[in-house]
Chains A and B, each alone.
Chain A
Amino acid sequence: MANAISPPKVLTGRRRVSPAQRRQNLYGYLFLTPWLIGFFGLFVGPGLYSFFLSFTKYDVISSPVFIATRNYVDMFTKDDLFWSSLSRTAYYAIVSVPLTVLGSMFLAILLNTQLRGITVFRTLFFMPSLVPIVASIILFKILLNSDFGLVNTALRGLGMQDPPGWFADSRWSIPSLILVRLWGSLGGTQMIIFLAGLQGIPTELYDAASIDGAGSWHRIRHVTIPLLTPTIFFNTVLGVIGALQTFAAAFIATEGGPNFSTWFFALHIWKQAFDYFNMGYAAALAWFFALVIVALTLLQMRLSKRMVFYMGE
């Protein structure tokens, strides 16, 4: 038998491509071209230019002046708001991401039941995610106004003497923003992804678990959650990236206040760039932050090898 097996041919040099294949490749590239132009012109090009700017002093009006790594050194040594905005952003992400992911998952589990009119509930829960962030922030600013808002009026009516100050109180401002995020995203895209994940779980597994005597909780614990781990992982990665980049909510609701309590890192970058025109410094902050996000994403991917279960593996 050994003689019957010929050794594999080692391919050397270029593979010959037929003219028809070449033409087909060219068409492929041609169709890719609009996207590639956008990718290089609007993403890679400006990205590289901002990397160059991060080593300069640049105020938009004058030409950039090369200052080597001074921006990077200054951010760690001279910027009072650097570490505080970073830790504030981390706090926001650490609290909001698990709440959003777990909340969306359990909402999806609830909405995955075969009840009459369940699509109405799904629609109702999905609707807040369609409200633009600006509108939802303004809505919550009115609702949560500490003196005249509906929420505190109701709390006072219930006998609470000193209800929370919400956006006006530095102790409550981040929880208030998390509340807005939960309202807008619990029933949103993440829930839809979870619903899709849930509907991809074979019903035979539930049947088998039921025959083995598993109740509702055990079916969720031992069937649903393990098989949803890829979805949980996906939503967590996107959730972390989204939470770290939080800007609009803080910008509209509090502009970083009160007392810097919602001064997130993305807002810090924006203030440096567009309020103070320290474009070079803002570019350095942005590159540092991009590296932090990439590092965190890689860490999550590494951890996922232990925690995520892919069916069929």
Chain B
Amino acid sequence: MAKNFSRRQFLKTMGITAAAGVLAACTPAVTTAPSAEKATAAPAAAVSGEKIKMKWDTFRGPGTGWNEERIKTFVEKNPNVEIEFRALTGATQQDNYGKMYAQFAAGDLGDIIAFDPSHFQFWRAIDKAVIAPIDDLVKADNTDLKQWYEQFIGLQKYKGQMYGLPSWGWAGQDTIVINAVQFKAGGLKLPDPKAHDTSMDTIAEWAHKLNQKGNPYGLGMTFDESHLVVLARAFSGDVIDADGKKCLLATDKNAQDALRWAYKMAKEEKIMPRPADVANMAAALLDGKLTMYWGGSLDARNFKRGIKDATKTEAAQALLPKRPDGKFPCQLRGGTWNIGKNSKNAQMAYQFLKHITTLEGCVGFNLVAGQGAFVRPDTVAELIKNDPIHEWFIPNLENGIPANAPSNSRGKEYNDAIAAYATKMMDPNENIAFEKGLQDLHDNIQKVLDMEPA
């Protein structure tokens, strides 16, 4: 202690130590992509008899017991495998993608993961080499891909390669969910829930007849991306082109007719609830505050499940009209189970992917985990035994239209731009003429599509 220990020296030492710690912590983890050989080769651990340890990171199913059951049954068949289930519990699904990206950057992302196309993260994760392609694994395993609906296998593909097996999936926003009790009380005859013979004019007519000055409203609708796209598709239009580079709203007359159909009711006639007012259409339908809302056949099933008083509420639906091209207006929504690019046990991870997407796994995913996973015909058949309402889903699962995604992987920005500007356009409190609202919506979508790749 010959030297004086000054405040300055102390702070300097602390500063250097802290800075060194921060720099060390912030140094990006070095990650390397496994080669196809590595992915398809038999796991070294399996050969040597060591335990294969894998991690499963997901926000799908935690708390229901489904994930644990899938692990247990898999490990029973593969005693040399140990799977750690790490539940992601962000406030929203989008939060969890951020967490997974951070895990990846830290070199700690699991072997089994999920980046869903319908949340627009799938393509970004592939472009950033977070997800491994599985074509070699599918080929080596000789997996029969026909066990899933072709539409949902299509969702797993990107730039000529396959990146996962289907998890959840349904034909999104393809129907008008109806409270049959109020509907019939309004003097209307219920449509056939499996037919596509209700015209858009008829739906508008119902909305007018059933609206009781807002108590209840006849028809409710949200103006987010999935609804707006299906609205445009119901009139044989679309919001963006299949390449995901061009917004079509300024030029596509069909899409404009679709928007005008909604604008008239929401804004000019004010017969729909204000966009931000009914945050939860399903709850409003259950509460009797709405008689119909634009949703998907999955919503019709969920509505039926939520009914407590059968004298006041009964589930029905009216599918959107078949288009002249024979397609049914919808936007297929779905997810994927993926293998992390840095997984050292890709082959075993693939076996686990198969295990959670079998008939048994998928039925459990629906009935235990509470997911809408209609990705396999045999699963839907099982679910029909459980509740015949699932029969309503089949036509659109077989003949649905996939989503068009921005080519620059700016899906979240694309979603937000549509939700913000379409909602603004349809808001009865805003003084926006149709043409101006349309142009603003178009310009802001195009602006997102013109951004540099994410």
Name 13 extra pairs, CB < 8 A, besides A14-B4, A59-B101, A168-B276. A19-B1, A49-B22, A60-B105, A61-B128, A165-B277, A167-B276, A168-B429, A254-B276, A257-B420, A258-B423, A258-B424, A259-B427, A276-B412
Q: Which of A6-43 contact B (CB under 8 A)?
A: 14, 17, 19, 22, 25-26, 29, 33, 36-37, 40-41
Q: Which among A33, A165, A171, A259 is the interface contact of B424 at CB below 8 angstroms?
A: A259
Q: Which among A41, A45, A148, A258 is the interface contact of B276 at CB below 8 angstroms?
A: A258
- Within the complex, the shortest CB–CB distance from B452 to chain A, in Å, comes to 9
- Within the complex, the shortest CB–CB distance from B289 to chain A, in Å, comes to 6
B268 beta carbon closer than 8 Å to chain A: no
Contact B101 A169 (CB under 8 A): no
Contact B128 A165 (CB under 8 A): no
Instruction: Give Cα A60 to B105, complex, Å.
Output: 7
B18 beta carbon closer than 8 Å to chain A: yes
Cβ-closest chain B residue relative to A63: B28
- Within the complex, the shortest CB–CB distance from A46 to chain B, in Å, comes to 7
Instruction: Give Cα A26 to B6, complex, Å.
Output: 9
- Within the complex, the shortest CB–CB distance from A258 to chain B, in Å, comes to 4
B195 beta carbon closer than 8 Å to chain A: no
Contact A147 B454 (CB under 8 A): no
Instruction: Give Cα A22 to B7, complex, Å.
Output: 11
Cβ-closest chain B residue relative to A145: B277
Contact B1 A257 (CB under 8 A): no
A289 beta carbon closer than 8 Å to chain B: no
Instruction: Give Cα A170 to B413, complex, Å.
Output: 21
B15 beta carbon closer than 8 Å to chain A: yes
List chain B positions with a Cβ less than 8 A from chain A: 1, 4-5, 7, 10-11, 14-15, 17-19, 21-22, 26, 28, 94-95, 98, 101-102, 104-105, 128, 130, 214, 273-278, 289, 410, 412-413, 416, 420, 423-424, 427, 429-430, 454
- Within the complex, the shortest CB–CB distance from A123 to chain B, in Å, comes to 32
In the complex, what residues of B have CB within 8 A of residue A145's CB?
A: 277
A62 beta carbon closer than 8 Å to chain B: yes
In the complex, what residues of B have CB within 8 A of residue A139's CB?
A: none
* Interface SS of chain B: helix
Contact A46 B277 (CB under 8 A): no
A146 beta carbon closer than 8 Å to chain B: yes
Given A168-B277, A169-B429, A277-B454, A148 and B289 touching (CB < 8 A)?
yes
Contact B14 A274 (CB under 8 A): no
Contact A29 B273 (CB under 8 A): no
- Within the complex, the shortest CB–CB distance from A190 to chain B, in Å, comes to 29
A260 beta carbon closer than 8 Å to chain B: yes
Instruction: Give Cα A28 to B153, complex, Å.
Output: 65
In the complex, what residues of A have CB within 8 A of residue B423's CB?
A: 257-259
- Within the complex, the shortest CB–CB distance from B269 to chain A, in Å, comes to 16
Cβ-closest chain B residue relative to A33: B14
Contact A168 B274 (CB under 8 A): yes
A44 beta carbon closer than 8 Å to chain B: yes
- Chain A, interface residues (CB within 8 Å), range: 35 or more
Contact A45 B21 (CB under 8 A): yes
Given A59-B454, A258-B427, A277-B454, A147 and B277 touching (CB < 8 A)?
yes
In the complex, what residues of B have CB within 8 A of residue A271's CB?
A: 416
Q: Which among B102, B424, B429 is the interface contact of A60 at CB below 8 angstroms?
A: B102
In the complex, what residues of B have CB within 8 A of residue A63's CB?
A: 28
- Within the complex, the shortest CB–CB distance from A8 to chain B, in Å, comes to 24
Q: Which of A126-170 contact B (CB under 8 A)?
A: 145-148, 165, 167-170
Contact B18 A45 (CB under 8 A): yes
In the complex, what residues of B have CB within 8 A of residue A313's CB?
A: none
Given A37-B18, A258-B275, A147 and B28 touching (CB < 8 A)?
no
- Within the complex, the shortest CB–CB distance from A225 to chain B, in Å, comes to 41
In the complex, what residues of B have CB within 8 A of residue A204's CB?
A: none
Cβ-closest chain B residue relative to A260: B420
Given A60-B101, A260-B420, A170 and B429 touching (CB < 8 A)?
yes
Q: Which among B5, B19, B276 is the interface contact of A26 at CB below 8 angstroms?
A: B5
Q: Which among A19, A147, A170 is the interface contact of B278 at CB below 8 angstroms?
A: A147
Instruction: Give Cα A44 to B17, complex, Å.
Output: 12
Q: Which of B22, B105, B214, B289 has its CB near the most chain A CB atoms (within 10 A)?
A: B22
Q: Which among B15, B278, B430 is the interface contact of A40 at CB below 8 angstroms?
A: B15
Given A260-B420, A276-B412, A171 and B454 touching (CB < 8 A)?
no
Contact B21 A146 (CB under 8 A): no
A275 beta carbon closer than 8 Å to chain B: yes
Contact A275 B94 (CB under 8 A): yes
In the complex, what residues of A have CB within 8 A of residue B28's CB?
A: 63
Cβ-closest chain B residue relative to A46: B22
In the complex, what residues of B have CB within 8 A of residue A26's CB?
A: 5
Instruction: Give Cα A168 to B428, complex, Å.
Output: 11
In the complex, what residues of B have CB within 8 A of residue A59's CB?
A: 101, 128, 454
In the complex, what residues of A have CB within 8 A of residue B416's CB?
A: 271, 275
Given A37-B18, A45-B22, A259-B420, A61 and B5 touching (CB < 8 A)?
no
Instruction: Give Cα A170 to B7, complex, Å.
Output: 54
- Within the complex, the shortest CB–CB distance from B214 to chain A, in Å, comes to 6
Contact A165 B101 (CB under 8 A): no
Contact A61 B429 (CB under 8 A): no
Cβ-closest chain B residue relative to A57: B452
Given A170-B430, A259-B420, A147 and B18 touching (CB < 8 A)?
no
Q: Which among B19, B130, B412, B420 is the interface contact of A45 at CB below 8 angstroms?
A: B19
